Chain A
Amino acid sequence: MSEKQDIPAAETAAPRKSLSRAELERRQLLRSIAIGSGVVCASMLGFFKTKFASAAPHLRPPGAIDEDRFLAACIKCGQCVQVCPVQAIKLSDIQDGLGVGVPYVDARAQACDFSCDAVQCVLACPTGALTHKLDKKEQTRMGVAELVEPSLCLARQGKGFKGKARGADYKGKLRYPEVDRWKPKPVADHPYDLDLCDLCVRQCPIPGAISLQAMADDATGKRKTPVVNQSCVGCGVCEMICPTEPAAIRIVPRVSGRHSS
């Protein structure tokens, strides 16, 4: 009995009309080739989203190197997510193809406001997908703000703003240095009362990145327009705080010219 048991089950348990060993092996080989290639092909579907589907590029965390290199260097561990004090960084899911597990910032929901000062995500990154050469927020090159809906902009209409910038239910946080330099506070807990809306300029964490300028065709001098300057890093705070719906100002993410590795 014991010796009979020594033959592996696969060899003894043949189908009704016992197939020859060669036939079983042939089938196993075909199965293996099919499944092995199937798995490899499934992984290649990742290219579809990254290379062919025309989706808007993601805004990446501060210090991200150029998109192609960034996707290669990122080890998809999410350590950048863990250190962000305002939870601005999220990880992409499988529908992002090759970008699965790669961090991005949804600025409208929660922008990177540099609450951490020292660019913590960059320090957390084990691979340099967020370049280690960066140590000041002014050096980041995530994208550039653009006034995409000028007709909605309150300042261009000469309007002020009173109330909660994004409504009472908005979850996002911002650092208000005049309130507490160390602890970011929910935007919903910080109502404004402004004669002329200048939220994008007022909350911008980068000195001189955006300014309000008088409009040439306005005789009253009340209407002003936000002007984005060269020092804009694309952190997204203006997009986040803009009280119009949709936001009048938005970040156009950079995909190249960010940082060299």
Chain B
Amino acid sequence: MNRTLSRLFEGYALMLGKAPAKPTEADFSQEARDLLAFKKTPEQRALRKATIKHEREHPETSTKWRNRRWASILVVNLLFVLSFWLDLQLIEGALTASRVFGFHMADLNSALQVTLAFKTVLINLVIGTSTVIIVYVLLGGRTFCSWVCPYHLLSELGEMLHLKLVEKGLVKDHPLHRGTRTFVFVAFAVLAFATGYTIFETISPVGILSRALTYGTVVGLVWVGALLLIEVFYSRRFWCRYICPIGLTYGMTGGVAPVRVFYDAQFCMHEGKCREVCLVPHVLDMTKLGYGKDVAHGIGPDCTRCGMCLDVCPTGALTFNVQGFTRPATNRRTEQQPS
């Protein structure tokens, strides 16, 4: 029980900006200690090295989860657009607030900004955010980011370009401190309260994009374009990684989500491909050899459930699972033994 709680707090601390720390000897569970000792034997090292070499020569990268996710982003945003253009009336409004089949939904950060600026608790926003919170408490808060947010999709395309340019040595990534996002979140909350205006909405690429798609307010896309330029030429995924208070707000709801990415060290070769593609690699710190306190881990609240790590993981050490509905790891192990 204490282990579960401390892992939960650790997850939130990481999300707020704490650097992941290497566990001390006392942190490991007995199983993890045994597994680590086993993995550090010369035979296992040699075997892993050979397997990784083979894997690098015959890389198998899937786009299964990426395709599903992109489809989800496109469908949700298209429903917003068509609900207005064709009068479908399925999802009316924008990502800041909407009615889905007539039910209120409100973006958590937008609702927070309005509540702080207006200094009134609005019943419709309470209803709207409660619905949204229930959804994301179950799915994991930042699922919004990678499965709904239209900026995420653009940012992903920008990232592809960025990585190409990095590979050619034309640009260099400039990582920021992850605590920046916490600072930005607090700054915008304080500003909304102090000024009485929803200051963050002025620059929120999510709201700007969502409204541009549905209502044709396209001048704001200049700002979105500027953010993308920074991401391509200066700092990889800087908005989603280090700045976006919307992402942090959703992340807050995701600590105990039953739907999660699940890591099982038994299958892991510690090759590190997952951390290379991850938007928030600190959540995958336990995939380094000697960093996993337990054999099996649910990934923390900052994880966007994008599935990119699943797509690159050659061994199936990373999977999606629903807590309480998953077959025991031993069963999977026998299935996934290399033939």
Contacts and interface: CB of A to CB of B under 8 A. Distances in A.
Interface of A: 1-3, 5-6, 8-10, 28-29, 31-32, 35-36, 39-40, 42-47, 50, 68-69, 71-79, 81-82, 90-95, 97-98, 100-101, 124, 126-128, 261
Query: Taking chain A's interface residues, is the majority helix, strand, or loop, or is none over half, making it mixed?
Result: helix
Nearest to A1: B49
B180 A36 contact: yes
A78 to B, nearest CB: 5
Nearest to B56: A1
Interface in B202-240: 202-203, 207-208, 211, 214-215, 217-220, 222-223, 235, 238
A79 B207 contact: no
Nearest to B177: A32
Contact of B219 (A44, A69, A95, A124): A95
Nearest to B192: A72
Interface stretch (B64-72, B130-138, B181-189, B320-328): B181-189
Contacts of A46: 197, 199, 202-203
Interface of B: 45, 48-49, 52-53, 83-84, 92-94, 96-99, 104, 106, 110-111, 114, 117-118, 120, 122, 124-125, 128, 173-177, 179-180, 183-184, 187-188, 191, 195-203, 207-208, 211, 214-215, 217-220, 222-223, 235, 238, 242-243, 269-272, 275-276, 281, 288-291
A2 B45 contact: yes
Give me the 5 closest cross-chain CB pairs, A-B, nearest first. Answer: A94-B220, A46-B202, A77-B97, A72-B117, A77-B93
Contact of A98 (B179, B197, B211, B281): B197
A141 B222 CA distance: 35
A37 to B, nearest CB: 9
Given A46-B197, A126-B125, A76 B188 contact: no
Given A2-B270, A28-B175, A94 B208 contact: yes
Contacts of A71: 197-198
A72 B288 contact: no
Contact of A72 (B111, B114, B175): B114
A127 B199 contact: no
17 contacts: A1-B49, A2-B52, A2-B269, A8-B275, A28-B174, A40-B188, A43-B199, A47-B195, A69-B196, A76-B96, A76-B97, A77-B93, A78-B214, A79-B97, A90-B215, A93-B217, A95-B219
Contacts of B52: 1-2
Nearest to B201: A76
Contact of A43 (B84, B96, B203, B207): B203
Contacts of B276: 9
B184 A69 contact: no
A104 to B, nearest CB: 11
A15 B223 CA distance: 32
Contact of A78 (B93, B196, B271): B93
